Amino acid sequence: MSSAPNPHAAHDAGALVIIGAGLAGWTTAREFRKLDTSTPIVLVTSDSGDFYAKPTLSNACAQKRSADQLITTPAAKMAQTLNVTLRAHSQVRSIHTSAKSLAFNDADGATYTQPYAQLVLATGAHPIRVALQGDASADVQSINQLTDLAHFQHTLGAAPKTVLIMGAGLIGCEFANDLLLGGYRVHVVDPTERPLAALLPPAAGEQLRLALQALGVVWHFDATVEAVNRANGPQPLTVTLSDGEVVGADLVLSAIGLRADTALASAAGIACERGVVVDDQLQTSAPHVFALGDCAQYASAGARTLPYVMPIMNAARTLAATLAGTRTALVFPLMPVSIKTPALPTVVAAPHPAQAGGWVADALDVAAVQGGGVWRFIDPAGQQRGFVLTGGQTTRRMELAKATVL
């Protein structure tokens, strides 16, 4: 491995350097370019840098779209349009905040040093993986980027398959719905009593359970996956659950959540908790270093991580202003999340986890899947702090948003 100047990167000490080419990284570059057309921008990413919408990963199978077909703008075009020096397939090894520089390896393994005037961490999050027993435990897959989806689709092949999904949260339910529409058989295993238990009131979760069950999901609640083994039966895998049940499957997909990627920040001595800790101006504990996206723990959100699209868009616009010289505090608006489960369209505006209060249903038949339902989270003072809409009631999104107090 060699150490040499990087002939392709902007070495100007005044460069804005962004680590990560997901929505957070590219949106920050785009918003900054609207305000500053001359400052060099260097974007370093471990992947190709191609731009795509990550939410499309969980509805590609039903639409019969390959991973490559999800790309909306190739990396080279993004870099040209935004006048960005792109260092694709490059792995950042360390950040030196006192020297205001970072070290990275390029695709050929050569090591380079890149100085920065300002640094943005947009390193995203990794799928949470749990230790499993069995001789096929290493074959369990997760989908968090295009290459993951490509591998998953290659494994599935063209013939009808049975997929067992670990996790009945937002991503697990979206993939379950997508795979069912794509013609696959689906089992979902979760330790709770119903889907989306952390987000939905019980009656809304029951609606979603019934809707996906009617589509073909086989639920396994109050259980976890303990072992995945190779088999010689109709399916190549046998999955042993904590309640003793054994399920045959062609493929196991883990969708039990994401964990912020804080490795680089932590190694550099930057404060991290559930994510990289940032203040209301997205400043980390290190001077000239900022963070946003799935890797960030936002002070503006009550010290929470927010792994959704709208928080990223709002944070990027705010951060761009600060990077361009106008320090701006981030204030998140109400950001309802649309869950991609066509079997039961669902919109959630979740209250802060520490918010006192409870869910109250409107006077609707909350057991009727087609009719949907309306739930409001009401605090002790009688104010609405969040809401959930299902089925046909999702058209009332704006109405409920206006009635919600942040």
Token output for 131: 């230790």
Query: 51 has which bridge partners?
Result: 73
Task: Determine the 3-state secondary structure of 268 from DSSP.
Answer: coil
**Alpha-carbon distances of 209 from 74, 203, 216, 218, 348, rounded to whole Å:** 38, 10, 11, 10, 16
Residue 13's pLDDT is what?
Answer: 72
Amino acid (one-letter) located at 354:
A
Residue 57 pLDDT: 96
pLDDT, one tens digit for every residue, the chain (406 residues): 333 444 444 456 789 999 999 999 999 999 999 999 999 999 999 999 999 999 999 999 999 999 999 999 999 999 999 999 999 999 999 999 999 999 999 988 999 999 999 999 999 999 999 999 999 999 999 999 999 999 999 998 877 799 999 999 999 999 999 999 999 999 999 999 999 999 999 999 999 999 999 999 999 999 999 999 999 888 899 999 999 999 999 999 999 999 999 999 999 999 999 999 999 999 999 999 999 999 999 999 999 999 999 999 999 999 999 999 999 999 999 999 999 999 999 999 999 989 999 999 997 654 444 568 999 999 999 999 999 999 999 999 999 999 999 8
List of domains in the chain: 16-126+258-323 (3.50.50.60), 129-254 (3.50.50.60), 345-402 (3.30.390.120)
Integer Cα distance of 169 and 171 in angstroms: 6
Residue 215 has which token pair? 């589509």
Question: Looking at residue 159, what is its pLDDT?
Answer: 76
Q: What is the pLDDT of residue 2?
A: 35
- What is the pLDDT at residue 200? 96
In the chain, helix, strand, coil percent, each to 5?
25, 30, 45
Residue 28: its H or E element: helix 23-35
pTM, 2 dp: 0.93
Question: Sign of dihedral through CA atoms 195, 200, 201, 204?
Answer: negative
